[in-house]
Amino acid sequence: MAGIFLFLILVIYLPLISKKYLSEKYQDKIGQFIGIVVGANYCIWLLLEILAGTFDMKIHLPFQLCRVANILIPFIMIYKSDRVYQIIYFWGMSGVFQGLITPDIINDFPHFHFFRFWVGHDGMIIALVYATVVYGMRPKVESIKSAFIALNLFLLVSILANFILDANYFWICEKPPMPSLLDYLGPWPWYILAAELVALLHFLVAYIPFYILDRKEKFV
C-alpha cells in the first residue's frame, strides 16, 4: 500500500511541480535521472544474476515487453526521442499498467525483486507521464498502428526465442503462474489472440485523453 501511495504522489506531483517551478535545466536533470534509474533497472538485475551464477537464458534475456521498454526509456528521458516515445507510450500505458494491476511477482518487500519489479513498472509510468507533461511530448493517433506493429514484431521475436531456448518469454507458451488478465482470455493458444485485441483496446484507451484535448482545442 505504501508503494502505491508513493507511486501516486510521484506520478501526479513530480511532473506538475517540475513543470511549474523548475527551470528547463533542472527539468532535464530530473528526467535524465528517471531515465537512468529505469534504464539501469533490468541491466543491474542481469548483472547480479550473472555474478551470482544464477543467470538462465530461459528466464533472464530481454524477451519480456517491460524489459525492452525499460531499456528504451533513456532514449526518451535523456535524448527526447519522439520516435521511441510514440511506441513506448502505448506499450507502457497498456501492458505495463496491466502489470501494475496484476503484478507477476511472488517476492514481497524488502526482497530485491520487489524493488526491481516496481521500479521497472512504476518508473516506466512516471517517466512517460513526465515526458508528456514536462517535455511536451504527446502520442499521435497514427502511432497506435506503429506501436501495434512493433508489438507484433516483438511477439514474433519472442516466439523464435522460445522455440530456440525452450523458454516461455512473453507468456506465449503458457500463462504465468500468478494471477493475470490472461486467466480470463481462454485456453492456449486462444488467449494469445484475445490478448492482441485487448492490447489494441488498451492502446485506444490510452489515446482517449489526447483525442478529447484535440477536440476541445479544435472548438476553442
pLDDT tens for 40-76 read: 999 999 999 999 999 999 999 999 998 999 999 999 9
Please report which helix (H) or strand (E) contains residue 33, including its range. Answer: helix 24-52
Q: What is the separation of C-alpha 197 from the centre of its chain, rounded to a whole number of angstroms? A: 18
Question: Which pLDDT band holds residue 97 (cuts at 50, 70, 90)?
Answer: low
Locus of grid cell 521511441 = 84
Q: What distance in Å separates the CA atoms of residue 175 and residue 171, rounded to the nearest whole number?
A: 5
Flag whether pLDDT at 78 surpasses 70: yes
pLDDT at 114: 73
Q: What distance in Å separates the CA atoms of residue 180 and residue 83, rounded to the nearest whole number?
A: 30
For 23-33, the pLDDT digits (tens) are 999 999 999 99
pLDDT at 1: 57
Q: What distance in Å separates the CA atoms of residue 113 and residue 108, rounded to the nearest whole number?
A: 8
Flag whether pLDDT at 107 surpasses 90: no
pLDDT at 98: 61
Nearest to 90 by CA among 220, 213, 206, 208: 206
pLDDT at 104: 57
Mean pLDDT of 79-103: 81
For 142-201, the pLDDT digits (tens) are 999 999 999 999 999 999 999 999 999 999 999 988 778 888 899 999 999 999 999 999
Flag whether pLDDT at 110 surpasses 70: no
Is the bond leading into 139 cis (omega within 30 degrees of zero)?
Answer: no
For 9-22, the pLDDT digits (tens) are 899 999 999 999 99
Write out the three cell numbers for 53: 551464477
Q: Please, which residues have CB within 8 angstroms of residue 60's CB and are 6 or more apart in sequence? A: 45, 46, 49
Q: How many CA atoms lie within 13 A of 69 on its CB side?
A: 30
Calculate ∠ Cα 112-35-118, nearest 5°.
30
Question: Which pLDDT band holds residue 99 (cuts at 50, 70, 90)?
Answer: low
